[in-house]
Amino acid sequence: MAPASVVEPAETDNGTVSFQRYVAIGDSFTEGVGDPDPSRPNGVRGWADRVAEVLADQTPSFGYANLAIRGRKLPAVLDEQLEPAIALDPDLVTIYAGANDIMRPKVDLDSLIERYDAALGRLAATGARLLVFTAFDPGGSAIYRPLRGRFALYNELVRTSARAHGATIVDYWTLREYRDWRYWDADRMHMGPAGHQRMAIEVLDTLGVPHRLQPLPLTDRPPLTRAEQRRENIAWVRGMALPWVHRRLTGRSSGDGLDPKRPTLAPID
């Protein structure tokens, strides 16, 4: 049985789950980085937009806000987005935060989750359906594998907090297809269009929302020689990894100067 503070989602005339006010908060994962669309605010689409499009088809009065901004660490997500999200009186909230903190050389996971837990409590108390994510499993990546233990501990703490507040969990950690680099953007840090589509499907399935989304075709790449792999890795380090490290060392973020792409509830085309 769900806690008393959590209301069950509304149902349509045919008995399916529906939502009227969806608010997404978080970092680049939720903003949609890696899924480019120049016609949209901040130039990205993403899984949350894809979910909102399905929900809008089911509810004529549907409104969607996305407050997520790339590069934000968990404290900034909560400081900047929590109160605005609550003020929008949502009946569905999704939140993903913490990956940017885990990637730092040092992180106090206990303090981090203490803040996260308090925020989940605030969101759950609104009566909205609350959906949270675990972090992905970096075990298939030579680049991120050394942090796997840290990711695993973070996920266990997130699962415990989510259960305590009656939140729904999308267990990103268990989605093994994300070990396939064809689901990822060229920067190797964000999901590509196929990854965002797969995540939208997972979110809708987890919420029990019927939909017709299908996985996007994956683009096969010809096998690379060792020399080609080495050149590609060097190009990635120079073009992606080093700029990321430089921003961290100088206290800057890829989200500096960006506003939320959908700061208020509005229809989505």
Neighbours of 39 (CB within 10 A): 7
With beta carbons less than 8 A apart as the criterion, state whether 184 and 192 touch. yes
- For 102-122, the pLDDT digits (tens) are 988 889 999 999 999 999 999
Long-range contacts of residues 251-257, Cβ cutoff 8 Å, at least 24 apart? 253/70, 253/71, 253/72, 254/28, 254/70, 254/71, 255/27, 255/28, 255/69, 255/70, 255/71, 255/72, 256/71
Q: Which amino acid is at 105?
A: P
Of the chain, the percentage scoring pLDDT greater than 70 comes to 83
Model's pTM, two decimal places? 0.86
- What's the CA gap between 207 and 47, in Å, rounded? 14
Q: Is the confidence at residue 4, as pLDDT, over 50?
A: no
Pick from 151, 164, 159: nearest CA to 123: 164
User: Residue 140's Cα: distance from chain center in Å?
Assistant: 20
DSSP code string of 148-204: HHHHHHHHHHHHHHHHHTT-EEE-GGG-GGGGSGGGB-TTSSSB-HHHHHHHHHHHH
Which residues have C-beta within 8 Å of that of residue 122, sequence separation ≥ 6? 82, 86
- For 40-80, the pLDDT digits (tens) are 999 999 999 999 999 999 998 999 999 999 999 999 999 99
The size of the chain, in residues, is: 269
| Residue 104 confidence (pLDDT) | 83
User: Residue 134's Cα: distance from chain center in Å?
Assistant: 9
| Residue 65 confidence (pLDDT) | 98
Q: Which strands form 262-266's sheet, in the order they lie side by side?
A: 168-170, 129-133, 92-96, 21-26, 63-66, 262-266
> What domains lie within the chain, and their CATH numbers?
10-217+224-266 (3.40.50.1110)
